[in-house]
Amino acid sequence: MIQSSAGLRDKNLALLAATADIFRLHLPWDKVKSGMSDARIREFYQFIAALWPIDTDYRALLPAPDTSLRALYLGEYEPELMQQNVFRFSLYADQIILINPFDNPNLMAEKFNPVVNPGEWRLQTLRLVYHLSLLAPWIVAGLVVLVPDPGDFDRSLREKTWSLATKRWVETGLSDKDVEASSLRSKAQDTFYLSPPEYIARMARETNPGMTDQEVNKLLAYVEKRRKEDPLLPNQTLDQMPGQMTAHRMGANLEMGLFLCQTVGAFPYTNVRFRWNEILKAGDDLGQSAQVWSPLTKAFGNLDFKFLNNVDSKFAVNMREEGRLSNFRSYLRKLWGTVNGDIDINRSEILARDFQDELAGEYAKAQAEWSAINRDLMKWAIPAIGGVLATTGGLITGHLNVAIPGAGFIGKGVNELIQAHMKRAEFRKKTALSVFIDLEKGK
């Protein structure tokens, strides 16, 4: 098992145990949905508040850098995307780091606080509990670690990363295309199923004046069925609930992400293109040392890689525990350790050629292992926590784009933040590698 700090692992396991107990996760998911009462939501967030008091020393909890191939996910944290965003990369890293997605009541004003107003957190809590249910086998196995957001316990650090991010966004910003590519649109569409029947019927008739009563009733029956089957939608409609708090998370901004990467010895990975572009700009180095690694990064980009797609969480963990793709992870681990070191430019050229030559052999071994994994998938009976996400799963083809800038990914001011706020000697001087999972060409 890949280790994190003992205190952090204890907190992760305590979170799993409390969530399972409070929301009775041993029951079928429709029972979990119907049993998500205000009392349970309040009890859950009281537990979160006790688990993460404001005087928590997060620095003592974060794992120190070691030889592990740790990857910090910087992308969309929506629970319905966890199978794609986490499981897809699971066979290419020793350990995946996720920023804890649960809101801490200790940091919230009373009018927004889930302990005070639990009814307003029904939708958000359902989504987060489902999120944790999917990740539970991974957390128990030590393959996924939930780390606290340092900004939750260090207000000065949070404000400084916000300031750095604001300055950066003035130059870059977010395009309409970036928003369209996110899950925000589908999330909004799903919320439509929570509309009261009267509203849906009225909108249907306004949109299609020729609809008969029979057709409207058929539509309403479909919407009700869709809502009940969706594991991420409560059984009640919006008119039966107070206004709901919702959040769209991407883990952290780039500055906090790089702060964590250097602190815990991880590299950032993403499957979100605008986030990938942010990362690349933080490593914009066209010097000789960057050019040395260019043939290797191009070689990665020209290869088709296989990724787990919509597979059961336990199946994916089983693949890891059986050591699938261990040779390729060893290759990536060696590359990660090499580029993180201080290498003479002449030595770099030799190493880069050796890694490029070795890539071909390791890729051939990986292809054989993917064939074996595909055969196992055909035998695996895939259950699901909720009906809508049930699938036999499979493999998907895409690209594993690797970036190795010569000077590493150094966000403006990040090293200064580490020196000022970490107060410990164990951290990376740079983050020398990043990965982008690109499935566009594989669709």
Instruction: Evaluate whether 164 touches 23 at the Cβ level (below 8 Å).
Output: no
pLDDT at 311 (0 to 100)? 78
pLDDT at 1: 42
Cβ atoms of 86 and 96 closer than 8 Å: yes
Pick from 142, 144, 135: nearest CA to 16: 135
3-state percent helix, strand, coil for the chain, nearest multiple of 5: 60, 10, 35
Nearest alpha-carbon partner for 431 in 251, 267, 280: 267
Distance CA 142, CA 314 (A): 13
Three-state DSSP class for residue 31:
helix
Question: β-strand 266-270 against 305-309: which pairing, if any?
Answer: unpaired
Give yes or no for a contact between 259 and 216, defined as CB atoms under 8 angstroms apart: no
**H or E stretch covering 430:** none
Amino acid, single-letter form, for residue 430: K
Q: Which residues pair with 181 in a beta bridge?
A: none
Amino acid 109: pLDDT: 93
Spatial distance between the Cα atoms of 217 and 62, rounded to a whole number of angstroms = 54
What does pLDDT average to in each consecutive run of 10 residues of the chain (443 residues)? Answer: 68 95 94 93 96 92 90 85 77 92 92 94 92 90 92 90 82 63 60 88 89 91 88 87 81 87 91 87 66 88 88 83 93 90 74 91 94 82 43 76 81 71 68 85 48
